[in-house]
Every structure is written in C-alpha cells, then in structure tokens.
Amino acid sequence: MLFLTLLSPTVLSWKNELFRKSHWLRRLFLLALAAGFWLGAYWTVRRVLVYFQSVHGLGPALAFQLLLIILLTFLSMLLFSNLITALSAFFLAQDLALLRSAPTASGDFFAARLTATTINSSWMVLFFTLPILAAYQSVFRGGAFFYLWVALVLPLFLVIPAAAGVLVTHLLVYLLPARRIRDVLFFIGLIAFVILYVLFRVSRPEQLMNPESFGFFLQYLSAMDTPSAPYLPSSWAAEIFGAALFQRPADVWFFFPLLASYALFLVWVGGSVSALVHLAAWSKAQESRQGRRKDRLLDAVLGAALSPFPPAARAVAVKDVKSFLRDTTQWSQLFLLAALIVVYIYNFKVLPLDRSPIPAATLRAMAVYTTTIPTQAYRSSGRPEAGFVLSAVAVRFAFPAVSLEGKAFWILRSAPVALRSIVLGKFWLNLVPLLFLGCLLVFFSNKLLRVPDWMMLLSLATVILMTFGITAIGVGLGAMYPKFDYDHAAQIPTSFGGITAMIVSVAFVALSVMIEAWPVYLLASRSLRPDGAEPSLWVLAPSLALVAALTAAAVVIFVRLGLKSLESMRD
C-alpha cells in the first residue's frame, strides 16, 4: 500500500533513532521527567476533582465545566500546532521534491502526510489528556464504558484539528508564499495565545476555589448547565465523557456520530482540496522571499550601545540583534514575555493581603519570600517567583544563543576569534536585558506589595546576582547542548538541553532563596515579637555573601562547561 510506503521513512527514522543511538542515560532522565509530569498532572487534577466532589450537589457540574475548559484549551492548542506542522509537512519538508516527482497518487500522499501531521502535533496533548481523564475516572467512576468512549472519541478529537489545520494551510499557501505564511502564523498564533492567557488570568479562575464566591457561582451554574460553545468538537467530546462519568442526560448517540461525521467530513474536504491545489500551492511555496533592508537608525543605536566592546564581539552582537529582530519566530516570543509580565504583576495586584489577620507589612515581607502553596493559588511570591520567571525567559532567549548560529557556525569557527570571546559575548548580550527585566519585575512587585526598604534593597541585590547565574546557566548549557539543526527557533528550548537548563536554573533560584530565607524570616517577623526587639540588618550579610559566592560559582562553572563542550566538538 502506497500510503504505508509513504509513511515508512518517518517510522523507520523513529525506529533507528530509538534503537541505534545509545543515549540511554538521557532517555532514562526524560522518561523519569515524563513520569513526573504525568503523575503531577494526575495528582493535581485528582485533588481538584475530589475538592469539587466534596461540594454537595455541585461536584459533577463543576467537574464538567472544568472538562469543557480543558478540552477547549487543548483544541485551540491543537489547531495552532497543526497549522504549523501541516505547513512543514505539506509545503516545506525536504523530501517533497522526491515524493512529488514520484508517481504518488494525491490521496495516498494526503493520507500519509495527514497521519504524520496528526501524530507530530498531537502526541503531547494526548500525553497530558490521558492522566487528566484517568483522574476523572478515579474520582467519578465511569466504568469500562468510559475507557471505551475515550478510545473512540480521542482519535476523532485529534483528527479534527489536524484536518482543519491542513485544510486552512492549503488555502493560505495557495494564496501566499509559504515562508511568509509561517511568520504570519507564528505571529497570529502568539498574539492569540497571549490574549487567551491574559484573559484567563484576568478572569481569576482561582476564585472557583474561593467559597465566598459560591453564592453567585451557584446561580451561574444553574443558568449554565450546558456548554457555552455547543458548536465546538471539544464540547461534543465533553458531552460524551460527561454522560459516562456523571450520568448526565446527554445523548451520546447524537454526539458521537456528530463527532465522527465531522472528522470524516473535514478529512474528505481536506483531501479534495489538497488534490486540487497542492501542486500549485507547493510550487508557490518554493518561491523565495525578497525585501530590501537598510536599518540606519538601528545601526546607529547599536553602534553607540556597543561601542565599549571590542570589534569582533560588537560584530557578533550586531549580527545577533539584527537576526533576532528580523526573524518573526524569534521576536514574536517577546509577546509571550509581555503576557508573562502582565500576569506576574497582576498576581500581586490581586493579593488579598489586607484581609489577613497578620499585620500587613509583615505579611507583605513574608510574601516576597514564600513559595507558592498549591492549595492557595492566590498567595503568590515575590522575588523567588521573579527568579523563576527569569529562568523561563533565560531558557527562551539565552539558551538558544549558541544554537542560533545554526549551520553558519563555521563562520565563527574559521574566524580569528577565540571561542571564549564568542561565548562571553553571548553571555553579556543576554545578561543586560535579563537584568533589566529582573529589576523591573522585583521593583514593581515590591512596590505593589508595599514592602519595607530593606526588603526592596535585598530583593534588587539578590535578583541582580541571580540574573548573572541564570544567564550563565542558560548560555553555558546552551553551548553544551547546542541544537544547530532546527526548523524554527522556538524548537530549541524544548530540546533535552533546554529542559535541563530550566531544571538547573530553577534549582539555582530555589537554593539562593533558601540561603536567604532564615534571616529574612527573622527580620520580617520582628513586628510579631512581644518584646519588640529588632535584629540588625547585618543578619542579612552572610547569606547575601553566600548567594554571591554561589552565583560566582555558577557563572564560572557553566561558562567553562559550555566552552569545554564547544571545544570538544572539534574532536
């Protein structure tokens, strides 16, 4: 069967990757990480569902609403990821010339690519859906029928966004050149994601956990026993699962055929459209993009800002900044960052500190130093959280710094520039914006919390130190695990090295926070003491010195490790 033949290179590549390469330790680590995430997702959802169930009479309704939200979120993620994957699979893949110049029928080609697209873009969503559904099953006991429905519904639920993505991609590429479309898709997708993310935070879902708001929530639920978007496949899937789990009076024999026929219809339409337009669209997709560039203002700004650096380091920095600003897949990530900052600062705005029985100033100071407690999602943290935000941002931007040289890395390797100055140049280039961001986050969150002056100073000093360490971890591990062969820049942080960088970075932040926790506790709790004795601010000095030493060690170790690893690439 030609369809299977067309899929065989992908399957064989996976098989060879799995059995021939012997990165067993790395695999074990990833497997443990995956198991951790899986169990974490199961445990979290199960806890929430058990809590819902304890609310008399409302449990199933709340759990159903949550299921609707989860499936809707997954559907939107799938739609976006399918658009990008379909674009690569149908129009940009390197094997297209080989396949389309062979006597392959359009139907077989479409079926093989649709299958590959569905698997590539959906496996991660599937990975997270299964523990969630298992948690539902363990709390609400849907029985064997529930598993049967899961097996029947999930493939259809995954095929629908894949077929829709493939269909939309074909139409878009038919009208515009593909490379431009990928940029546009990233841009639109990210903005959509940012809007959704901000809306989600501003809607304050944590209030669902707040018993005070149940008064109006009850009215809300009684008015809304049906899904808010009944025309979406996520709602149909939720209705089917809901019927099995909560014995809701839903007609599964209406919703399942609806889901199945919709999936088949989309596949059929996608196949027909592909047969009609694929060759013409692919032909267009191969046309290169052109555009004159002359950025005098940017040149002047960069020239002034980078004047203290030696010429080679300046040249690398100018190249990096220009490449970043001209690559939509890179700079559009700034939107994500903006959303992160808005949500972060908003978290502090909604902290209900004034309702606390503990003196507000004490609580504010303590809040800066407490980590988030899962059951009280609204009690957020200050500086540690800023550290975690910085870690996430460093993995997004500092970790890919070396990888972004890509296949053009030979230029730097064959130039009369020491590797050390290249890596250090990337360190400084990433450090400056991260320092700015870190100070900004800490300053505004502390202002919103109205913390004492000593806390503001300590937070700023610590975040400045931490940023050095976080940047070194990002750049150093990025040099240790470079990914020079990438489809788009956003893929780099999701590699093994990126995940490792995130874990190491978070551990570094956690360690720094732990070092300072005790003296901060002493100072913050002074107003609670009956004798009013105030410890001196000098109690902070040893721990601050220890954090400085830890940072220096992190910078030296990770920059050296990165350099050593890049050097050893020559072997």
Partner 1 sequence: MIRIENLSKHYGRLAAVDALDVEIPAGEIFGFLGPNGAGKTTTIKVMMGILRATAGRVLLGGFDVEREPEKAKAITGYVPDRPFIYEKLTGAEFLQFVGALHRVERPALARRIDEMLETFELSGWRDELVESYSHGMKQRLVLSAALLHEPGILVVDEPMVGIDPRGARKLKDLFLALAKNGVAVFLSTHSVGVAEEVCDRVGIIHKGKLIACGTMAELRSLAKIEEGNLESAFLELTSE
Minimum Å gap between C-beta 561 and partner 1 is 18
> Whose Cβ is closer to partner 1: residue 294's or residue 355's?
294
> Whose Cβ is closer to partner 1: residue 263's or residue 417's?
417
> Whose Cβ is closer to partner 1: residue 312's or residue 377's?
312
Phi, psi values for residue 454, rounded to 5°: -60, -35
> Whose Cβ is closer to partner 1: residue 135's or residue 417's?
417
Angstrom distance (rounded) from CA 544 to CA 518? 12
> Whose Cβ is closer to partner 1: residue 1's or residue 304's?
304
Among residues 58, 272, 327, 346, which is the contact residue for partner 1, using CB under 8 A?
327
* CA 263 from centre of chain: 28
> Whose Cβ is closer to partner 1: residue 101's or residue 568's?
568
| Three-class secondary structure of residue 469 per DSSP | helix
Instruction: Give me 63's structure tokens.
Output: 């759990």
Of 2-10, 79-87, 136-144, 413-421, which segment contacts partner 1 by CB under 8 A? 413-421
Contact of 236 with 255, CB cutoff 8 Å: yes
Angstrom distance (rounded) from CA 288 to CA 277? 19
Tokens 């067309």 sit on residue: 6
> Whose Cβ is closer to partner 1: residue 311's or residue 352's?
311
- The upper half-sphere exposure of residue 322, i.e. CA atoms within 13 Å in the direction of its Cβ, equals 17
> Whose Cβ is closer to partner 1: residue 201's or residue 314's?
314
Sign of CA dihedral 167, 170, 173, 179: positive
Angstrom distance (rounded) from CA 553 to CA 551? 5
Among residues 86, 135, 417, 547, which is the contact residue for partner 1, using CB under 8 A?
417
Instruction: Give me 442's structure tokens.
Output: 């800490």
DSSP result, 533-571? ----GGGHHHHHHHHHHHHHHHHHHHHHHHHHHHHHTT-
Q: Considering only residues 261 through 320, tell me which ones interact with partner 1, judged by CB under 8 A.
A: 288-294, 311-312, 314-316, 318-319
Among residues 102, 184, 358, 408, which is the contact residue for partner 1, using CB under 8 A?
408
Minimum Å gap between C-beta 185 and partner 1 is 17
> Whose Cβ is closer to partner 1: residue 176's or residue 260's?
176
Contact of 458 with 540, CB cutoff 8 Å: yes
Minimum Å gap between C-beta 571 and partner 1 is 5
Contact of 54 with 40, CB cutoff 8 Å: no
Among residues 418, 514, 539, 556, which is the contact residue for partner 1, using CB under 8 A?
418
Which string of x and - marks every residue 155-194 that binds partner 1 (by CB under 8 A)? ------------------------x---------------
Minimum Å gap between C-beta 326 and partner 1 is 4
How many residues of this chain bind partner 1 (CB under 8 A)?
Answer: 33
Q: Quick one: angle between helices 144-175 and 106-140, nearest 10?
A: 140
Of 71-79, 222-230, 323-331, 439-447, which segment contacts partner 1 by CB under 8 A? 323-331
Instruction: Give me 251's structure tokens.
Output: 């007609």
Minimum Å gap between C-beta 182 and partner 1 is 12
Minimum Å gap between C-beta 311 and partner 1 is 5
Q: Output DSSP code: residue 291.
A: -
Minimum Å gap between C-beta 316 and partner 1 is 8
Minimum Å gap between C-beta 337 and partner 1 is 20
Residues in contact with 406: Cβ distance below 8 Å, sequence separation at least 6, in sequence order: 484, 485, 486
List the end-to-end C-alpha distance of the chain, in Å, as a whole number.
44
Among residues 56, 296, 355, 407, which is the contact residue for partner 1, using CB under 8 A?
407
> Whose Cβ is closer to partner 1: residue 151's or residue 297's?
297
- The burial of 167, by beta-carbon neighbours within 10 Å (0-12 exposed, 13-18 middle, 19 or more buried), is given as buried
Among residues 401, 412, 448, 472, which is the contact residue for partner 1, using CB under 8 A?
412
Contact of 82 with 121, CB cutoff 8 Å: yes
Phi, psi values for residue 456, rounded to 5°: -60, -45
Angstrom distance (rounded) from CA 66 to CA 41? 14
> Whose Cβ is closer to partner 1: residue 275's or residue 298's?
298
Is 20 a residue that touches partner 1 (CB under 8 A)?
no
> Whose Cβ is closer to partner 1: residue 553's or residue 569's?
569
- The burial of 455, by beta-carbon neighbours within 10 Å (0-12 exposed, 13-18 middle, 19 or more buried), is given as buried
Of 17-25, 345-353, 404-412, 431-439, which segment contacts partner 1 by CB under 8 A? 404-412
Angstrom distance (rounded) from CA 390 to CA 386? 6
Among residues 323, 372, 491, 565, which is the contact residue for partner 1, using CB under 8 A?
323
Minimum Å gap between C-beta 420 and partner 1 is 11
Among 540, 567, 368, CA closest to 448: 368
Among residues 26, 284, 413, 488, which is the contact residue for partner 1, using CB under 8 A?
413
Binding site for partner 1 (CB under 8 A): 179, 288-294, 311-312, 314-316, 318-319, 322-323, 326-327, 406-408, 410-418, 570-571
